[in-house]
Every structure is written in structure tokens, then in C-alpha cells.
Amino acid sequence: MYRVEKKAKHPTVGVYEQAQGGYIVQAYYGKDNIGRIVRKSKRFNNKEDADAYAEKLREKQEQGNADVLGMTFEEFTLYALNNGFKNVEDRTKDGYKYASAAVRRVFGKKRMREITGEELADVFDNLRSQYVDVSLKKVFNSVRAIFKEAERVGEIEKNPFDKLKCPKSRRPDKAEREAYTEEEIKTIIKAARDYPNPILLPFLLVLDSTGMRPSEARGLEWEDLDVEKRTIRVKQSIIQRFGKIENLDRTTIYWEEVGRTKSKAGVRTLKLSKEAVEALKGWREYLQTCSNIRKKSRFIFNGKDGEPIKKEALKSLIRRFVGKYEELQGMGFLLYRFRHTYCTRLKLKGMPIDAVKILMGDSSDSVINKVYTHITNDDALRMLEKGNL
């Protein structure tokens, strides 16, 4: 590896178009320890990527860092989250930030180009005891995405993830991946009927009878509800938008807005239970006693401002709800488990996978088969008795 002994007084970065097509970014840094001129070049297929890379080099040179191709893992992660990852949603980038924390603790101050595949393999082998499979894969895929971005912009020449595979966790799955039992559902709904906040019962019954994502439920509008047919139309979701990431260890400023469903498959019509419809009718009657803003709001589950109930407000409501009833504590109560439960019910009924995908709003078979279905031994025996197996 070269070492810059004499930095250039005016380091330069240039973008040059090649006669045979493509662009070259060339950076001049000065002279090395034996007097040779130090240059670094990187070829790109299009001018947009070349200009972005050149700008990154200029920014680092302005900071007085001659070795601009040697960003640490922490530095590059922050840079990439704010300037890279084309066509990646904000919430995914924020997920990369949190998921990469475990690796930052090990490699945070180490230069990207010095991190080897063997070192990464050792880190993920150690993480097998700390994370369940789903979480371990999130960390692995997030860090892999960061290295792929580093390769794309020329921060590293070879990606150490090229020959790596995510290892299997040594920990059993958490409750968040399990379906509720029917007895647990009854316990939850009974407690919700008793709970003083009237938004909770209809919200939980909608999740229980449709399996929709909590963010989809928050985006529901009254015009999506057909009481006579007992159906509800999912056409949008509440999404998060994030500001600039200033610090990898602090919560990023974000705001919520109505947006698209997770994928095109997310737009669908679902059947509600009779209980859910009655609860929604009761909720609408309650809203007629509230302020004009809430009365006239187009959103079913609206807050005091008439906008969809905020994620943090919902989390706070759930914490108080679980804390009030001893029978809910230790159950591993999570809103997303209603989705897992719904999918498991569909599978137990023998519904074809293509139909399950439509109702779940998922486009992938693997998501259904690997994540959402939790058929127990007792479930299998009941299916056998009914002739479904």
C-alpha cells in the first residue's frame, strides 16, 4: 500500500470521457515515500456515477485528508446512507443504520478496504448466538448492502462479501415470529373490550380478521369500508420519511405520511369478521362525539388532529394496554403477530399459496412459507382428522 509523504498543494480530481465509451475519474494526491506521483483512477459506465464519485473525493480533499480512498466503515456507512443507495426507500436506509450497529462496534474505525472476508465471517459467526435467524439475516444483508455500495462508488476494489453466506442462528425464534393461539386471541380481545380507549378494540379486530400490516390499518379510510359486504380495501400505507442522518448512534429525525403499500401486491380487498364490523360501527359513533376535525376525518383510525394515529402514539397505547392486564404480560404481545396468525389460519384451511399471497399482500412465496406460517404439531393432527392432510 502506498503512503503519501508529500501532499499536493492543490490536489485535483478530474472526470474524463473515454473515446471507447465510459468515464474515468482520476485523483492526484502528491508523491509517495520514494518520490513517485500518486494517482488513483476509477472507471464508470455513466457520467452520473463518475461525477458523484469525483464529488466525494473533492469533499474529502477539502477536509485535508490526502488518503481519500480510505474511509472507515463508520465514515462510509454515514456517507452512503446520506448520498448513496439509489432507489432505496428511507425506511430501508434507516434499517441499514440500525442493523449495521453490531458490525460497527467491531469495524467502526477500520478502513473499508482493510476489512477481509475472513474477519466478517468471524463477526457473523459470533453474532449467531446473539440474534435469531430473521434478525441475523437483516444484519447480514444490511452490511452486505453497504459493502456493495462501497464497491459501486470505488471505495473498495473487491467486495469481501462475494463469497460469504449468512450463517444459521444458534438461538430459537422469538415470539414475534409465532402465531397467537386462538385462546390468546380470545384473551386479547376480551381485554380490549374492557380497555377504556375506544380505538383499540376495532383496531385489533381489523388486524385479527384481515392480517393486514399495522401501517396499512393506520392508512385505512372510511370510503374503503363496505359494511354490507363486510369488506375493507387496502390501497395505501403510512410510511416514514427520514431527514439527513447526522449520527449513526442517534435516532434520525423522521415524519410520517400517506404512501404506497409495501408492494403492488399490497393493494387488495379483505373480508372483515362480524365482530370487526360492529366494532368499527361503534368507533364511528364515538367519533361523532369528538371534535369536527375527527368527525370529518377521512381516516378510520385518526388521532386528535384528524390524521392517521401516529406510530409512537400507537406504541404508547399498546404499552399501557399490556401493562394494565396481567394475563397479557409474558405473552409476547406484538401487533405484527396478528398477521402471522392470520396467515397460519389460511394455511390450516388448506388455501392455495397463490390465494394466500393475494390476501396477505405479498408477492413472494418464500415470505409466506418461511416467515408467516407457524403450524404446530397439534395443528397438523387436527388437519389430519379433518382430512386436510
Same domain, 209 and 77: no
- In a domain, residue 222? The reply is yes
- In a domain, residue 309? The reply is yes
Which residues of the chain are modeled with pLDDT < 70? 1-11, 29-38, 61-69, 173-177, 366-389
Other CB atoms within a 10 A radius of the CB of residue 374 amount to 17
Q: What is the pLDDT of residue 175?
A: 46
Same domain, 370 and 306: yes
CATH label of the domain that carries residue 77: 1.10.150.130
Q: What is the pLDDT of residue 179?
A: 86
Same domain, 54 and 77: no
- In a domain, residue 140? The reply is yes
Same domain, 234 and 367: yes
Query: Which of 35, 62, 89 is at the close of a domain?
Result: 62
Measured between alpha carbons, how far is 67 from 65 in angstroms, rounded to an integer? 5
- In a domain, residue 85? The reply is yes
Q: What is the pLDDT of residue 258?
A: 95
Other CB atoms within a 10 A radius of the CB of residue 180 amount to 23
Number of domains in the chain: 3
Query: Which of 89, 119, 153 is at the close of a domain?
Result: 153
Same domain, 191 and 324: yes
Measured between alpha carbons, how far is 77 from 105 in angstroms, rounded to an integer? 13
Burial of 185 (0-12, 13-18, 19+ CB in 10 A): middle
What are the angstrom distances between the C-alpha of 179 and each of 81, 136, 206, 379, 382?
34, 21, 16, 12, 16
Determine the 3-state secondary structure of 13 from DSSP: strand
CB proximity list for 346: less than 8 A, separation 6 or greater: 211, 355, 356, 359, 360
Same domain, 48 and 183: no
- In a domain, residue 168? The reply is no
Same domain, 289 and 348: yes
Backbone angles phi, psi at 65, to 5 degrees: -100, 105
Measured between alpha carbons, how far is 118 from 164 in angstroms, rounded to an integer? 9
Same domain, 184 and 81: no
How far does Cα 206 stand from its chain's mean position?
23
Same domain, 206 and 317: yes
- In a domain, residue 167? The reply is no
Which residues form the domain of 115? 73-153
Q: What is the pLDDT of residue 248?
A: 86
Same domain, 211 and 342: yes
Residue found under cell 374492557: 194
Tens digit of each residue's pLDDT (9 = 90 or more) over 111-166? 898 999 999 999 999 999 998 888 899 999 999 999 999 998 888 888 999 999 99
Over the Cα atoms of the chain, what is R_g? 26
pTM of the predicted model, to two decimals?
Answer: 0.70
Measured between alpha carbons, how far is 61 from 90 in angstroms, rounded to an integer? 28
Q: What is the pLDDT of residue 157?
A: 83
Q: Considering Cα of 52, then 55, then 60, then 63, what sign does the dihedral take?
A: negative
Interhelix angle for 182-194 vs 200-210, to 10°?
Answer: 160
Q: What is the pLDDT of residue 288?
A: 96
Backbone angles phi, psi at 38, to 5 degrees: -105, 115
**CA angle (144 as vertex; 138, 147 as ends), nearest 5:** 145
- In a domain, residue 91? The reply is yes
Query: Which of 62, 84, 106 is at the close of a domain?
Result: 62
CATH label of the domain that carries residue 305: 1.10.443.10
- In a domain, residue 124? The reply is yes
Tens digit of each residue's pLDDT (9 = 90 or more) over 276-335? 999 999 999 999 999 999 999 999 999 999 999 999 999 999 999 999 999 999 888 999
**Grid cell for residue 212:** 393486514
Q: What is the pLDDT of residue 382?
A: 54
Amino acid of residue 36: R
Same domain, 130 and 184: no
Same domain, 318 and 361: yes
**CB of 149 closer than 8 Å to CB of 80:** yes
**According to DSSP H, which parts of the chain are helical?**
47-62, 73-83, 90-99, 101-107, 117-127, 133-153, 182-194, 200-210, 214-218, 274-287, 292-296, 311-324, 337-348, 353-360, 365-367, 377-385
User: Would you mind telling me the total number of residues written for the chain in this entry?
Assistant: 389
